[in-house]
Amino acid sequence: MTFNKLMMQKCAIALGSNLGDSLNILETTITLLSQHPSMELISHSPWYQTTPVGPPQPDYLNGCAILETSLTPEDLLQTLLGIEQKFGRIRREKWGPRTLDLDLLLYGDLILDSPSLTIPHPLMLERAFVLVPLANIAANWVHPMSKKMIQEHLNQLNCEGIRQLIN
């Protein structure tokens, strides 16, 4: 599939952090995304304190953002990975603690399965810590594979351990 660099595409990303000053890291990331020349920040969710999945570690702060971008999915992924690295992201163990985690969840209604990128994100529908903030800003977005709205998927999940951060 070829992408017109001038064509803007709506996408959803998930943000998470549980090492360092997580709130500041997430807020700064939102600012970086909004200032990127190939992106427009449409909205972002409130932050949620969430119980971690994986090995014992501190609670996470999680949220989601909706962007419009002229970047291809692969270029957007590389941009997100570059932002993670700016905050010292080191990939040591699967589902381990991290200063910043950025996941590309949805890119319009694109379905893509390549060696470097899968869209929609393959685990997003199983993760309340993703769907709670995403439903806050995109409840009616239809998942391109299931053809169900994000809110419908969220209604099927246990949302224990997810609390909206009041700042």
**CATH assignment of the domain containing 114:** 3.30.70.560
Q: How confident is the model at residue 1 (pLDDT cuts 50, 70, 90)?
A: very low
Question: DSSP letters of 73-107?
Answer: HHHHHHHHHHHHHHTT----STT---S-EEEEEEE
Q: For residues 3-17, give the mean pLDDT.
A: 83
pLDDT of residue 7: 84
| Domain annotation covers residue 3 | no
Q: What secondary structure letter does DSSP report for 116?
A: S
Instruction: Yes or no: say if 105 and 64 are a contact pair by the CB < 8 Å rule.
Output: yes
pLDDT of residue 4: 47
Residue spans of alpha helices (H) in the chain: 22-35, 73-86, 128-138, 150-154
Closest to 17 measured CA to CA, from 47, 42, 55, 40: 47
Q: What secondary structure letter does DSSP report for 20?
A: S
User: What's at 154, amino acid-wise?
Assistant: L
pTM, whole model, 2 decimals?
Answer: 0.92
Domain that holds residue 147: 9-164
When divided into structural domains, the chain yields a total of: 1
What are the structure tokens assigned to 93, written together? 């163990």
pLDDT reading at 54 higher than 90 = no
pLDDT, tens digit, for every residue of 61-97? 999 999 999 999 999 999 999 999 998 866 666 666 8
Cα distance from N-terminal residue to C-terminal residue, the chain: 43
pLDDT of residue 6: 56
| Domain annotation covers residue 77 | yes
What are the structure tokens assigned to 61, written together? 């702060």
| Domain annotation covers residue 90 | yes
pLDDT of residue 137: 98
| Domain annotation covers residue 92 | yes
pLDDT, tens digit, for every residue of 12-32? 999 999 999 999 999 999 999
* Active centre residues (catalytic): 89, 98, 101, 103
pLDDT reading at 167 higher than 90 = no
Give the integer Cα–Cα distance in Å for 94 and 146: 26
Q: What secondary structure letter does DSSP report for 140?
A: T
| Domain annotation covers residue 2 | no
pLDDT reading at 5 higher than 60 = no
Q: Mean pLDDT in the chain?
A: 92
pLDDT of residue 25: 96
